[in-house]
Structure 1
Amino acid sequence: MAGVLSVDIEVLGKAVQALRTAEQVLSDAMKAMSTGSHPDIGTAELDNAADSFQTRWKYGIERIGESARVTAEGVSKCLEAYQATDTVFTEALEQIEASIGGSPSGAEERA
């Protein structure tokens, strides 16, 4: 027996936005820590620590950001497909309801 699939379109939309925000935050953080862009951050030790972090983690953080972007695109396409399916299904149910309920427009067409 097949299970019931339930998709909360609003939550799916929020997930897409959260992924896009994560990508932007990671990108902004790496730009802020790039060499020479943080001269007033504090002591020389803190500046050196930021440079070291940026150098060691640049590739990994870029990959995480890229993964967030790709995932956001994929989830966004799913969201669009669910929204389209929901619209078509709603329209089909309205047509069925109108034909069963004997809507005035349906009665005129038959007369």
Structure 2
Amino acid sequence: MDPDLEVNGRQLARFCRALDESLTSLGEARRALEHVRADQLGTAALDEACDGFQKRWKYGAEQLDDRITSVRDGVQATRAGFAEVERAIETAFRAVAVRHG
């Protein structure tokens, strides 16, 4: 075990907020692209290419959304777990201090 290991709950919380912001931005980009119609862009070939991109982008963005959500959930669970361990250690030290004055 690395004696230099340190878990900072505030940093984990900031990381979760950054992940939430990325999910928001990704959702906004996905919604903006949904409003662009391929037939508004130009030639039939360009329209077809844009339609293909839209389909791939939607799938990829949904997959990325799922992965970011999983990472965020894992970070939140890790943060909660470390907080619980810290509380248990603090409780144990307080109990020892009370017993030994």
Q: Structure 1 length as normaliser, TM-score?
A: 0.69
What residue identity is the alignment partner of 1:60?
Answer: G
Distance in structure 2 (CA, Å) of the matches to 1:87 and 1:56: 46
Alpha-carbon distance, 1:45 to partner: 4.0
Consecutive unaligned residues of structure 1, counting only runs of 5 or more, are 103-111
Match of 1:108 in 2: none
Match of 1:92 in 2: 92
What residue identity is the alignment partner of 1:55?
Answer: K
For the pair shown, which has the larger CA radius of gyration, 1 or 2?
1
What residue identity is the alignment partner of 2:2?
Answer: G
Structure 1 contact 32–38 (Cα < 8 Å) conserved: yes
Structure 1 contact 26–62 (Cα < 8 Å) conserved: no
Consecutive unaligned residues of structure 2, counting only runs of 5 or more, are none
Q: How many residues align?
A: 92
What residue identity is the alignment partner of 1:78?
Answer: T
Distance in structure 2 (CA, Å) of the matches to 1:38 and 1:98: 68
- CA RMSD of superposed structures (Å): 2.4
Task: Return the structure number with greater helix share.
Answer: 2
Distance in structure 2 (CA, Å) of the matches to 1:3 and 1:69: 29
What residue identity is the alignment partner of 1:33?
Answer: L
Alignment of 1:45-64 (within 5 A): 45=41, 52=50, 53-64=53-64
Distance in structure 1 (CA, Å) of the matches to 2:68 and 2:55: 21
What residue identity is the alignment partner of 1:84?
Answer: E
Match of 2:32 in 1: 32
- Percent same amino acid at aligned positions? 22
What do residues 33-90 of structure 1 show as CA deviations (whole Å, max 9, x unaligned)?
A: 10xx358xxxx549x78x9253342211211111001111111111111111111111
Question: Is residue 2:24 matched to residue 1:3?
Answer: no
Moved over 3 A (4+): 53-56
Bigger RCO (CA 8 Å, 6+ sep) = 2
